[in-house]
Amino acid sequence: MRISFLLLLLPAANSGHLPPRSTMQPCKTLLFFFHDILYNGNNFHNATSAIVAAPAWGNRTKLAPLMHFGDVVVFDDPMTLDGDLRSPVIGRAQGLYLYDRKEVFTAWLAFSLVLNSTDHRGTITLAGADMLMNRRRDVPVVGGTGDFFMARGVATLMTDAIEDEVYFRLRVDLKLYECY
């Protein structure tokens, strides 16, 4: 079953417009870090994200048991060029993540990198599954505006630091394969 399915797919893949994936080179690469401080009931002034929906067995000040399944978090996180939270903020990562499996730690992301510096002006939108147990996770870049007009590619995410359930730092390696 699986083999015949593959055979059916192969001719279609070869007649497409894209070169084989292994030979594709990104037209733009960017590296950012973003910093997420989750509201925990007593860090209102520092928090950059908040649980906005929780399952019946949880609440909005503490991530739920069972891999946080059902929690929805909205965030507005500062982005820096290195891993230091005190470095200049070059943009913000804005959107939401939600935890979507009880058995395994996974999330679904939908957010934009909003950049407004002298180097970059525009937005880059990411959406897709984030297999949190893997050290490196690829998330699709589904579009962009401004300097990133019609951007498409992949963002490789790595959790660079994590402190309890309140702070995490994410390294984002962006590779765009469509640039205009």
Site residues (vs ligand NAG, CB under 6 A): 43, 46, 59, 61-62, 116
CB 10, min distance to ligand NAG, A = 46
CB 174, min distance to ligand NAG, A = 20
CB 123, min distance to ligand NAG, A = 10
| Dihedral sign, Cα of residue 146, residue 156, residue 21, residue 28 | positive
> What tokens appear for 20 in the block?
């084989």
Cβ-Cβ contacts under 8 Å for 87 (sequence gap 6 or more)? 80, 81
Nearest to ligand NAG of 43, 134 (CB atom): 43
Nearest to ligand NAG of 81, 89 (CB atom): 89
Nearest to ligand NAG of 48, 139 (CB atom): 48
d(CA 87, CA 84): 5
Nearest to ligand NAG of 153, 167 (CB atom): 167
CB 74, min distance to ligand NAG, A = 18
d(CA 121, CA 142): 17
d(CA 16, CA 66): 42
CB 115, min distance to ligand NAG, A = 9
Bridge-partner residues for 159, per DSSP?
170
Nearest to ligand NAG of 62, 171 (CB atom): 62
Q: How many helices (H) and strands (E) does the chain have?
A: 1, 9
